[in-house]
């Protein structure tokens, strides 16, 4: 059988000691709710918002209960109402179109290229169908944001960025989340900083962020936020914006703040692992790894490669062969959704239209988590196993033909 990998694809690193100490302090004083503070105390949640805003260069930040809540909150804050059409990537995870459906709007799916980014030509053709684009930087792949914003600005389309997989990443030196009107981040376990669940929302738009703060359940305590718009931004909105509570608590904020300080170092470690895998699969016949342009400063907490134009049974054989040797690959072209992985045909709440170029990409797309518990040597082993299995399966396929 050859080498077998024994690592765990879902095991994250332990939280840093500073996060454990911060969590213990919150648990000891018991003030977990973000607005439950002692005299003179600044809530951990307010401090996290201030620090994350500073790290991205955003004027405002709001911490919420999940990345999915951040998406829905941003859509509402940007004025999306039931029945509205909202553009979004056909290649993303289900919470993205789910957020659109969750506010009663209708997802309009836009195709994907072999580089795993939104298809600009398809986007340009569909810009007249909606006034908002919920752009997913899916699996950390960032499109040409200069071109995208030119297209959307010219068409009067508001951009909301889903940055669940791009915390710490940038295009041409400008962080993701800072291109559109609002940027949404996740702190779920498999993201770049880990609080189990959690989300962050950034913006330079005072009205949109005031709406988001009120939506999140601030009641009339928005003055306790340190990274929110000035109080006058809330003066009229507080009477018309509903409370759809989704606040982050102080315990999660406390364990995130030390992790945020170490994000740059962690990003470098992820990218070292990504590059080791990419080197190991370079020039493998039948396999293509998406090209990462120089303008894309990515943070690669996962790895993708393509087996384009292969029959479904060949892809399934590669997935099964790698699994038998300890390497867990997720296939976006599978007929049925599995775990976190689903193709757009499974989102039956989204109108279905033919996307043949996207179907070709997804049919051959294989995806793998890349936790920092893997060493560089582990990544080299994984690459050798994938190489062996792909070579064997494609060799048998050619022989059978």
Question: What is the tens place of the pLDDT at every residue in 202-232?
Answer: 999 999 999 999 999 999 999 999 999 999 9
Angle at Cα 179 formed by Cα 275 and Cα 143, nearest 5°? 40
pLDDT at 380 over 70: yes
Q: What share of the chain is helix, strand, coil (3-state, %, to 5)?
A: 40, 15, 45
* CATH 3.40.640.10 intervals, the chain: 17-261
* CATH 3.90.1150.10 intervals, the chain: 263-400
pLDDT at 313 over 80: yes
What integer pLDDT is reported at residue 335 of this predicted model?
84
pLDDT at 324 over 60: yes
Q: Helices then strands (H, E): number in the chain?
A: 12, 13
pLDDT at 400 over 70: no
Q: What confidence tens digit (pLDDT) does each residue in 135-183 have?
A: 999 999 999 999 999 999 999 999 999 999 999 999 999 999 999 999 9
Q: Which residues pair with 203 in a beta bridge?
A: 60, 182
Which CATH fold would you assign to the domain 263-400? Answer: 3.90.1150
The overall pTM is greater than 0.85: yes
What integer pLDDT is reported at residue 399 of this predicted model?
65
What integer pLDDT is reported at residue 368 of this predicted model?
97
pLDDT at 398 over 80: no
Pairing outcome for strands 85-89 and 296-297: unpaired
pLDDT at 401 over 60: no
What integer pLDDT is reported at residue 337 of this predicted model?
86
What integer pLDDT is reported at residue 397 of this predicted model?
77
pLDDT band at 74 (very low <50, low <70, confident <90, very high): very high
pLDDT band at 395 (very low <50, low <70, confident <90, very high): confident
The C-alpha atoms of residue 85 and residue 79 are separated, in whole angstroms, by 12
Tokens, residue 72: 């829905």
| Rounded percentage of the chain residues whose pLDDT exceeds 70 | 99
Tokens, residue 316: 């399934």
The C-alpha atoms of residue 382 and residue 220 are separated, in whole angstroms, by 53
CB 55 within 8 A of CB 77: no
Q: How many CA atoms lie within 13 A of 236 on its CB side?
A: 1
pLDDT at 11 over 70: yes
What integer pLDDT is reported at residue 51 of this predicted model?
98
Residue of 192, 216, 242 lying closest to 65 (CA atoms): 216
The C-alpha atoms of residue 210 and residue 230 are separated, in whole angstroms, by 9
Average pLDDT, the chain: 96
| Rounded percentage of the chain residues whose pLDDT exceeds 90 | 94
Q: What confidence tens digit (pLDDT) does each residue in 330-346 have?
A: 999 888 888 888 899 99
> What does the chain come to in residues?
401
Q: CATH for 17-261, among 1.10.3720.10, 1.10.10.10, 3.40.50.10260, 3.40.640.10?
A: 3.40.640.10
């Amino acid at each position: 059988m050859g080498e077998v990998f024994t690592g765990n694809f879902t095991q994250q690193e332990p939280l840093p000691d500073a996060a454990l100490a911060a969590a213990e302090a919150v648990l000891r004083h018991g003030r977990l709710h973000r607005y439950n503070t002692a005299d003179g105390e600044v809530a951990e949640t307010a401090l996290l918002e201030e620090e994350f805003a500073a790290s991205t260069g955003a004027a405002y930040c709001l911490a919420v209960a999940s990345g999915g809540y951040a998406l829905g909150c941003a859509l509402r804050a940007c004025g999306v109402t039931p029945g509205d059409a909202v553009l979004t990537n056909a290649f993303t995870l289900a919470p993205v179109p789910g957020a659109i459906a969750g506010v009663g709007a209708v997802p309009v799916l836009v195709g994907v290229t072999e580089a795993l980014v939104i298809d600009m030509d398809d986007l340009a053709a569909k810009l007249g169908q909606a006034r908002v684009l919920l752009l997913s930087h899916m699996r950390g792949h960032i499109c040409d944001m200069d071109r995208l914003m030119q297209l959307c600005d010219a068409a009067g389309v508001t951009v909301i960025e889903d940055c669940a997989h791009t915390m710490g990443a940038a295009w041409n030196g400008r962080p993701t989340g800072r291109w559109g009107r609002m940027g949404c981040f996740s702190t779920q376990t498999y993201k770049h900083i880990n609080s189990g669940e959690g989300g962050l929302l950034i913006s330079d738009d005072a009205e949109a962020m005031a709406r988001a703060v009120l939506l999140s359940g601030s009641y009339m305590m928005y003055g306790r936020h340190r990274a929110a718009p000035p109080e006058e931004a809330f003066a009229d909105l507080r009477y018309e914006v509903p409370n759809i509570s989704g606040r982050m608590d102080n315990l999660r904020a406390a364990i995130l703040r030390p992790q945020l300080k170490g994000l740059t170092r962690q990003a470098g470690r992820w990218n070292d692992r990504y590059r080791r895998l990419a080197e190991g699969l370079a020039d493998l016949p039948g396999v293509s790894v998406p090209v990462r342009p120089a303008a894309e400063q990515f943070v690669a907490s996962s790895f993708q490669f393509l087996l384009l134009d292969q029959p479904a049974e060949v892809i399934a054989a590669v997935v099964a062969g790698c699994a038998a040797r300890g390497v867990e690959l997720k296939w976006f072209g599978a007929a049925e959704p599995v775990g976190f992985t689903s193709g757009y045909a499974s989102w039956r709440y989204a109108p279905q239209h033919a996307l043949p170029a996207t179907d070709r990409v997804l049919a051959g797309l294989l995806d793998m988590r890349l936790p920092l518990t893997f060493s560089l040597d582990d990544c080299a082993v994984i690459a050798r196993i994938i190489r062996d299995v792909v070579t064997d399966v494609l060799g048998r396929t050619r022989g059978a033909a």
